[in-house]
Amino acid sequence: MTASLAGVAVLALHLATPTAAGAAAYGCSGTLVGSWKVPMKDALDGSTYYRSDVKLYYDASTGWNCAALVKRKGARYGEKTPMWLEMYNSRWAEDNWKNNYDEDQGRFKYYAGPVKVYGKNLCVSVRARHGDHTGPGTDYNGRLDLTGVACR
């Protein structure tokens, strides 16, 4: 009986903190404040499909936002494909120093990022691009532009 109660307690603790574990997996801290699918267009028939999501976290204790562009399991998962993620806060246009803008670009197996910007009393914007090919080049058929999200 005691072992089963301990198991229930461990399970409850695990279920109560999934966002912190998710954030740490991408080099972030804080709480998940948003997740958005990156729509991709099929070159042959024009249909929309999804291979990745932008995950955005906010750490209220530090005032920092952190984001990752995370591949979904399935086709191309674990294969290097072109990915680009940028995030900037509402101060970027007037004062473009490091705390206001960050980006990560390259060919990744699982995720791009983390990218981090200061966000206390500011809104952040996120742009993501994802290519669905393993060959050379940086053709991005997946695009997502989020402006003025996660205003804190």
**Can you give the pLDDT of all 152 residues of the chain as single tens digits?**
444 433 333 333 333 333 455 899 999 999 999 999 999 998 899 999 999 999 999 999 999 999 999 999 998 999 999 999 999 998 876 666 668 999 999 999 999 999 999 999 999 999 999 999 888 887 888 899 988 888 87
Q: Which pLDDT score, from 0 to 100, does residue 92 have?
A: 74
Cα–Cα distances in angstroms (integers) from residue 55 to residues 2, 23, 65, 83, 136, in the given order: 38, 9, 11, 14, 26
Q: Cα Rg for the chain, rounded, in angstroms?
A: 18
Q: Which pLDDT score, from 0 to 100, does residue 93 have?
A: 67
Q: Which pLDDT score, from 0 to 100, does residue 98 have?
A: 67
Residue identified by tokens 């806060």 is: 89
Tokens of 51: 């291979």
Tell me the C-alpha distance between 44 and 131, whole Å.
15
Contact criterion met (CB below 8 Å) for 80 and 134 = yes
Q: Which pLDDT score, from 0 to 100, does residue 10 have?
A: 34
Q: Which pLDDT score, from 0 to 100, does residue 120 have?
A: 92
Q: Which pLDDT score, from 0 to 100, does residue 7 have?
A: 37
What type of residue sits at position 48?
T
* Number of domains, the chain: 1
Provide the residue range defining the domain that includes 68: 2-149
